[in-house]
Amino acid sequence: MTSRSRLFFFAFSCCWFICATAFSRSYDDIIESNEIVIAVYSDFQPFSYIDNGEEKGIDVNLANVIAKKLGVKLRLRWMTADENVDDDLRNNIWKGHFLNRTVADLMLRVPYDRDYSLLRDDIGELVHQHVHMFAPFHTESWKVIFNSKKIDSVETIAVFQYHDIGVEVDSIPQFYLTSAFQGRMRDRAKQYPSISEAIIAMTESKVDAVMGLTSQISHYQGALSKTNYPLAQNAFPMMGQQQWDIGMAVKADYRELGYAVADIVENMIKAGEMEAIFAKFNVIYKIPDLYKGSE
């Protein structure tokens, strides 16, 4: 291969790589293109899902509001959850999956936690140096719903030493219920592919209760009798972090976009728009502590 041929091959290779890779974009680029790409999780009711061909969910509604207030069109990027959030951030915000090197401009449903954002690896490097996490828009927690015809009350989680409780497979509630109190609830924790299937099992008297995210539990309760299927108010001893904030992320290079979106989110919370979106899906809304002083 001649020098000229090698130079051409190198230039072609670089051009191909650049063209095949869709990088996240700056705020100005998004406004100029009149489109923002927002990543949401697939098949994650009530947050983001497709029902009879229609895109629905809390995060889908929020994404639409953000795009509208930025004055651009919305294109959703539907994510499949990887092994952890770190993988999801890498695949959808700053690098792209090795099978598809495209990324979104903004990702929803990201943990908003200072310790998590400043986490360092074994050699002291920031694990999340490529992303900027910001704009917590609600506080999540765990909740139990139970069949009042089978259980009088749930004042303590220890009641599930004697009653079957449904959990989503490979979830934190599953690990908690199979290990807490020296494993006394292990045989009572029944695993299901999803919270919705666990809820169905409860209505069919296959289990007496279900434990999951407060957002999901309260959403599914909306289709049930609250008298027959009330929400428990118990705590979860030895569980560690029992509530956490959920926010968003952009690539670290494009914080201007983050600042613009953060302003939109804060104004939505102050105006009651955020709570209204959650109410639309019968989800209990809890405002993050970050905004409580400015209400």
93 vs 255: CA distance, rounded Å: 13
Q: Which of 170, 181, 172 is nearest to 143 (CA)?
A: 172
pLDDT band at residue 32 under the 50/70/90 scheme: very high
Please give the single-letter amino acid code of residue 126: L
Is the confidence at residue 105, as pLDDT, over 80? yes
pLDDT winner (highest mean) among 72-86, 116-130, 274-288: 274-288
User: What does the pLDDT look like over 126-179, one tens digit per residue?
Assistant: 656 789 999 999 999 999 999 999 999 999 999 999 999 999 999 999 999 999
Beta-ladder partners of 78: 40
Spell out the domain ranges in the chain.
Answer: 22-140+245-292, 141-221
203 vs 88: CA distance, rounded Å: 34
Topology annotation, domain 141-221: D-Maltodextrin-Binding Protein; domain 2 (3.40.190)
The H-assigned helical ranges of the chain are 3-20, 27-33, 58-70, 85-89, 114-117, 172-183, 195-203, 214-221, 255-271, 273-280, 289-292
Q: pTM for this one?
A: 0.86
| pLDDT of res. 139 | 97
| Poorest-pLDDT segment among 165-169, 178-182, 202-206 | 178-182
Topology annotation, domain 22-140+245-292: D-Maltodextrin-Binding Protein; domain 2 (3.40.190)
Inter-residue contact 1 to 9 (CB < 8 Å): yes
Mean pLDDT for 20-49 is 87
Is the confidence at residue 196, as pLDDT, over 90? yes
103 vs 107: CA distance, rounded Å: 10
Domains 22-140+245-292 and 141-221 share a fold: yes
